[in-house]
Amino acid sequence: MAKVLRRRPFVVTKMGQLWRLVRESHENPITGVSRPPRRVNADELGVTFIGHSSFLLQLDGRNLLVDPVLSKRLILLRRQRRPGVIAEQMPAIDVVLVTHAHMDHLDFASLRKVVRVTRRLRGHAPEIVVPRGVEDLVAGLGFARVREMEWWQQTEVKGLAVTMTPCRHWGARLFSDTHRGYGGYVVEAAGHSVYHSGDTAYFDGFTEIGQRLRPQVALLPIGAYFPDSYRAVHTSPEEAVRAFVEVGAQWMVPMHFGTFRLGREPMDEPVQRLTAEAARLNVGNRVKVLEEGETLRLSPETGIS
């Protein structure tokens, strides 16, 4: 009688992968330093890389955070580099954008810190924007208002035009709550616009995003692409450059690399492959790899300043 081979349940396989990543995340000391963000003028755009997929955006005199993750650990998974900016160094935040419910993008401790700091500086809390189905996770964190959005929906938040964009990923906080939405955002004001893709695999929607919204800066993920099965939900560096070209933005800033061990590729490989591919396509002078805490500053007349 033939022996029947049983595949391990998905949850068991996934937990094994996560435990290996947790062990590896503790092998080396945390590196990097935190510093106060560079401030920009009201007519300028400031894009400060905090680490992983976290950014501070300064736009039309407003301060926005996207996917702020400032914690040392995500439960047991430890970060490899310190956040470039900590909550206590930030200005009062007007709006927080969260792309999806995964723990490396929606961190309760970090969001509570942002609320506390802004209340202390300004007397009231910021607003938060989340995909539909994620609002219950942030409802009790103290934000002044919770807004939920769907793909291609547009709204105005604190004088900023915000559009939620599609992507190819998944949004569950746990393994089973797959009703939760996910996506990216384009934020526009005062002649500037920034596209944060959220986590995504390569898909044919980048061209449509570019045609509809014409962002000035594209923040695109380049890590956690190996083994190749991970590319079902993450772009490789080469795919990220292709997405940048199709979006048609003036500048690309890479993200989703160097902070957490999420894929099996070497930690320094994503930037190396990104740089090589950008040079091959003659767009290397438009790709800005920021260190944690570094700010890309764009003026309306002259570009980078």
Give the DSSP per-residue string, 55-122: EEEEETTEEEEES----SEETTEEPSB--SS-GGGSPPPSEEE----STTT--HHHHHHHHHHHHHHH
Residue 2 lies in a domain: no
Tokens of 277: 């591919």
- As a whole number of angstroms, the distance between CA 281 and CA 245 comes to 9
What is the reported pTM? 0.92
pLDDT of 220 reads 99
Total count of domains within the chain: 1
5 in a structural domain: no
Q: What residues in the chain have per-residue pLDDT under 70?
A: 1-27, 301-302, 305
Does residue 305 form part of some domain? Answer: no
Provide the CATH number for the domain around residue 83.
3.60.15.10
Count the Cβ atoms, other than its own, within 10 Å of residue 101. Answer: 23
Q: Provide the pLDDT for residue 11.
A: 57
Residue 304 in domain: no
CB atoms within 10 A of CB 159: 13
* Residue 182 domain boundaries: 12-298
